[in-house]
Structure 1
Amino acid sequence: MPDALLRACDGHVTEASDDDTVLGMAPRWVASPATTAEVSAVMSAASTSGLAVVPRGSGTKLRWGNPPRRLDVVLDTTRLDRLVEHAAGDLILVTGAGRPLATLQEDVAASAQRLGIDPTRSGTIGGTVATGTSGPMRLRHGAVRDLVIGMTLVRADGVVAKSGGKVVKNVAGYDLAKLLTGSFGTLGVITEVAFRLHPVPGERRWVTVSVDGPDAAQDAVQSLVHSQQVPVAVEVDWDGATGTVAALLEGHAEATEECAATVARELGDDSHVSGSAPPWWGEDLEREGPRDRGSSRTLVRVTHEIAGAGRLLRATGDLRERCGVLASYRGSPAVGVGCAVLDGEATTVVAAVDHLRATAAALGGAVVVLEAPDAVRDRLDVWGPATALDLMRSVKQRFDPGGVLAPGRFVGGI
C-alpha cells in the first residue's frame, strides 16, 4: 500500500474484501476520507501512483453502468456525513456528500422544509447526485440537477474545485455542478453539495384511476398534464396490460381538497381521492429493482416524449408475446421517464431491450440498462447509442487525462 495513500485518510485505509467488488472488478484497498482535504490527498496519491479509483457512497447504485476497466481503490464517502449549513430562512442547505438522503430530510423537517428528491432512498447525497436519481416530484421541483445550486468537488489530480454557491441565482463561472450530476463519478469526487429547498405543504391528496390498456393510460396522463390544477407529480404503475395512473396535489387544506375533487371529475367516475398514497407510490423500480448479484431480472430506465407514454406502455405489454419476457413498468409519464423490470432468459431479455430501444428512439428517448445479470450485460451495451459522444470524451480527457476516476464506467466506455 502506498504510504501517501495511507497518510491521506489518517489511517482509514483497509484491504478490500469481496463486498467491495464493482461488477466483478476487485479493488486492492478501500479509502475512507472524512473531509474534502482528505479526499484531495487520496486523489493526489492515487494520481501520482497511477491507481484507478471508483467513488462509492452506500453502494446502492454500484451495479449501474459498465464495469471499470481497472480498479485499485474504492473511495468510500460515507464519512463525509456532515450537515454543513442549513439557512432555513433562505431555503438553502449545504451538506457533505456522504450524508444519507433520509438523514438530510430529517435535518430539514423540523423547519417544515424538504429536499424535492423522493422517495427517501437509502443512498447518500453524493450517490444520488452522481447517478442523477430523481423521483415523482421532479414534475414540480425538477430533477436532481435542478435542485443543486453549488458543489465542492475534487478532481482526479487532487485539485479542489467549487461551482456555484449558496444563493439560487448564481451565475459565476462554468456550472460544474450540472456537469458532475449524473456523471457516475468519472469526472470528479463530490464532497459537498448545496441545494435549494422547498416548504412542506399543509395538505396532500392523491387522485388515482385504474386504466385498462395503454390508450386509457395515455388519456389519463394527458388529462393530468393539461389540468389547470397543476399536480405535483403524475405517476403510472403498469403490469403490461393494465395499471393505475395517480396524481399528487399539494397546498393549503381547503384548496387542495377542491383541486383534488376537480381532478377526479376530469379523470371520470372511476377515479378516487385519498389522503394517503397508493401502496406502490414512491416505490420506484430503481429502488426496488434487482440488487443482488444472483438476480435474474433486468432493470432499465426509459425516457420518451410525453405524448408517447401510451406507445411505450403498449411496447412493454407486447414484450411477452414478442420476446417471451415479462415486463412491469413504473414511472413519471408527465416528464417522460420511468423504469421497467424485465424477467426472462438472457437472449430474450436482450431482444426485449432492443425492442424498447427502437420504440424509445422513435419517441425521442433512450433506454439505459441499470442492473442486469452478467449473461445479459455480456450481450449488449448497457448505455446504448449516445449522442455527442466525442464531446463527452473530450470533457473526460480535460478533467481526467490519466483515466484515474472510474475508467470505463460511463457512456462509450468513458
Structure 2
Amino acid sequence: MPADGVLDRLRAAAAGGGPPGPDSVRAADEQDTIAGVPARYVAAPRDTAQAAALLRAAADLDLAVTVRGGGTRQDWGSPPRRLDLILDTTALAGVVEHAAGDLITVVRAGTRLDELAATLAGARQQLALDAPLPGGTIGGAVATNATGPRRMLYGTARDLLIGVTLVRADGVVAHAGGKVVKNVAGYDLAKLVTGAYGTLGLVTECAFRLHPLPAAVAYVTRRVGDAAEAGRLAGAVRAAQLVPAALEVDAPPGGGAAVTVLLEGTPAGVAARAEAARRLLGADATAADRAPDGWGRYPWRGGDTGLKLTAALSGVPGLLADARAAADRHGLPLALRGSAGVGVLHAGVPGTADPERVAGLVDALRTATAAVAGHAVVLTAPPPVQDRVDLWGPVDGLTLMRRVKQRFDPDARLAPGRFVGGI
C-alpha cells in the first residue's frame, strides 16, 4: 500500500479510538529511529482506546511496531529486525488515580518518573523507583525493569507493580492485577510484561504500591584504595543491623573506590544508624544529607558500552576485583558502579575503545559472573561492538520465553528482535 494510504488508515484508526491530536499520526523524520533503525510512521495515542485502535490497524496492515517513551533507553537491546511504526507514549501521560490513604497510584505509561515524584511528594509519598536517566518514563522503567540504588530496600519495578492495562499486538485490551496490594488476580501478567522490552504488548497504565517519604536521610561514604576493598566493606555493612535503603560501590577507571550507605527513617534513628555506619566503615567515613556525585547514575555516557553484572552477594568483592583485573588485561578503562547490597553492578567502557578488546572483556566478564552465580548482559553498545558480541549471553528458559512470545504476538510484529534470543 502507498505510504499515503497507510497514513490515512492509521489516522482513521486514531480518530475512531478517540479525538486525535494534530500530530497523533505522522510520517517519521530522520530523528525517529530505534537503536539506529529508521521508522516509517509515528503515532502518539492519548489513551488506551486510541492505542488499541492503532494497534488493530497496524495488525491489519502488517506493520512492525516498537514503543517509544522518553527515549532514554532506545539504544538498549538489539536493533529491531524491522520497524514500520513507532508508538510514542509521551501523550499517554498523567496520574489516573492516587489513593493516598491506601498508598496506591494508577499512572499512564508515558508519565515521566520525575514528574510523578513531584506529584506524589505533595502527599509525602513516593514511588520508590530511582531514575538513573533523566527524562525516563513509567513505561520505560517497566519495559526494562530498570532499577537503582534503593532496590535493596524497596525492590524493583516488578516488585512495586500491582496491576497493568496492556494492549496486545492485535489491539485487544487486557487488564491484570488491580488497585489492592493483596489482589493476585492476573498478577503474573504484570510480572511477565515487566522487563520484556515491549515485545509482549503496549502497557498503557500501571498501578503501583507507594511508600511514605522518609523524614530523614543520611549518606555515609568511605573512600578506599580499590574496588575489592570497597566490596569487603560492603559485606561488613550487610552483616550489620543497619537496615540500609541502599549500599553502593563506585569504582571509576582511574583507581580508588567508594562505598556509600543510604539510611532512611526518623531523624533520631537515622542519626544513630549513621554514627554506627561511620564506626563500621572506618574513621575516614563521612556523613551527609545529600547523595554523592554520580549516585544512581549509570557509569557510561551515550555511545559507550554499558553492561549489567550480577552476582551472589558473597561473590560481589571477588567480582569487583576480577572485573578490574580483566579490564587491565585487555588494556581498557572500566568504570564500575552499583548495588553491593543486592549483587547488581553496572560497568561502562568508552565508546572509542577497540571493539575486539571490548568483545574480549565481555567474554571475561561473563566468565567472572558465572563463577559467582551471576550473568553479564550488554545493555547498550556501539554497532562495532554489537557486531562482535551476543548482547544477552546464555539465558535459561529461552525456549519457554519464545513460546510466550508466540502466544502473545504470533506474527512477531512487536519490537521484533529487540529482546533475548531474537525475540
> TM-score of the superposition, structure 1-length normalised?
0.96
The residue that corresponds to 1:363 in the other structure is 372
In structure 1, C-alpha distance between the alignment counterparts of 2:237 and 2:315, rounded to whole Å: 15
Question: Runs of 5+ in structure 2 lacking a partner?
Answer: none
In structure 2, C-alpha distance between the alignment counterparts of 1:315 and 1:374, rounded to whole Å: 26
Output one character per residue of 1:99-143: Cα deviation in whole Å (capped at 9) or x when no partner.
Answer: 111110011000001110114731111011101111111100001
Output one character per residue of 1:219-264: Cα deviation in whole Å (capped at 9) or x when no partner.
Answer: 2111111221211100010024420000011111111101110111
The secondary structure found in structure 2 opposite 1:19 is: coil
After TM superposition, list the pairs within 5 Å mapping 1:10-409 onto structure 2: 10=15, 11=20, 12-119=24-131, 121-240=134-253, 241-285=255-299, 289-291=300-302, 295=303, 297-343=304-350, 344-409=353-418
Q: Post-superposition shift, 1:274?
A: 1.7
In structure 1, C-alpha distance between the alignment counterparts of 2:356 and 2:298, rounded to whole Å: 26
In structure 1, C-alpha distance between the alignment counterparts of 2:30 and 2:322, rounded to whole Å: 39
In structure 2, C-alpha distance between the alignment counterparts of 1:369 and 1:144, rounded to whole Å: 20
The residue type equivalent to 2:417 in the other structure is G
How many residue pairs align between the two structures? Answer: 407
Q: Post-superposition shift, 1:8?
A: 2.3
Q: Which moved more, 1:308-317 or 1:143-152?
A: 308-317
Output one character per residue of 1:34-67: Cα deviation in whole Å (capped at 9) or x when no partner.
Answer: 0100110111111111110001101110111111
Residue 12 of structure 2 is aligned to residue 7 of structure 1 = yes
Is the 1:117–1:135 contact (alpha carbons within 8 Å) kept by the matching residues of 2? yes
In structure 1, C-alpha distance between the alignment counterparts of 2:159 and 2:136, rounded to whole Å: 19
Cα gap change, 1:167/1:44 in structure 2, threshold over 3 Å: closer, same or farther? same
Q: Which moved more, 1:321-330 or 1:393-402?
A: 321-330
Q: Post-superposition shift, 1:200?
A: 0.6
In structure 2, C-alpha distance between the alignment counterparts of 1:144 and 1:125, rounded to whole Å: 9
Q: Post-superposition shift, 1:320?
A: 3.8
The residue type equivalent to 1:339 in the other structure is H
The residue type equivalent to 2:371 in the other structure is A
The residue type equivalent to 2:9 in the other structure is A
In structure 1, C-alpha distance between the alignment counterparts of 2:36 and 2:135, rounded to whole Å: 23
Q: Could you say what the CA RMSD is over the residues aligned between the two structures, in angstroms?
A: 1.3
Q: Post-superposition shift, 1:174?
A: 5.0
Identity of aligned residues (%): 47
In structure 2, C-alpha distance between the alignment counterparts of 1:249 and 1:215, rounded to whole Å: 23
In structure 2, C-alpha distance between the alignment counterparts of 1:82 and 1:251, rounded to whole Å: 29
In structure 1, C-alpha distance between the alignment counterparts of 2:327 and 2:178, rounded to whole Å: 50
Q: Post-superposition shift, 1:213?
A: 2.7
Is the 2:113–2:131 contact (alpha carbons within 8 Å) kept by the matching residues of 1? no
In structure 1, C-alpha distance between the alignment counterparts of 2:301 and 2:215, rounded to whole Å: 36
